Chain A
Amino acid sequence: EVQLLESGGGLVQPGGSLRLSCAASGFTFSSYVMSWVRQAPGKGLEWVSAISGGGGSTFYADSVKGRFTISRDNSKNTLLLQMNSLRVEDTAVYYCAKAGSWLTPFDYWGQGTLVTVSS
Chain B
Amino acid sequence: EIVMTQSPATLSVSPGERATLSCRASQSVSSNLAWYQKKPGQAPRLLIYGASTRATGIPARLSGSGSGTEFTLTISSLQSEDFAVYYCQQYNDWPNYTFGQGTKLEIK
Contacts and interface: CB of A to CB of B under 8 A. Distances in A.
Contact of A103 (B43, B44, B92, B96): B92
A53 interface: no
Nearest to B48: A105
Q: At the interface, is chain A mostly helix, strand, loop or mixed?
A: strand
Contacts of A97: 44
B34 A105 contact: yes
B91 A109 contact: no
A26 interface: no
Contacts of B89: 45, 105-106
B99 A46 contact: yes
B71 interface: no
A103 B32 contact: yes
A68 interface: no
A46 B34 CA distance: 14
Nearest to A62: B1
Contact of A105 (B91, B100, B101): B91
- Range, interface on chain B: 20 to 34
B46 A106 contact: yes
A44 B87 contact: yes
B102 A104 contact: no
A109 B44 contact: yes
Nearest to B6: A44
A70 B62 CA distance: 35
Contact of A44 (B42, B45, B96, B101): B101
Interface in A85-119: 95, 97, 99, 102-112
A103 B87 contact: no
Nearest to B97: A47
B99 A112 contact: no
A71 interface: no
Interface string B22-54: 000000000010101010001111100100000
B87 A95 contact: no
A104 B99 contact: no
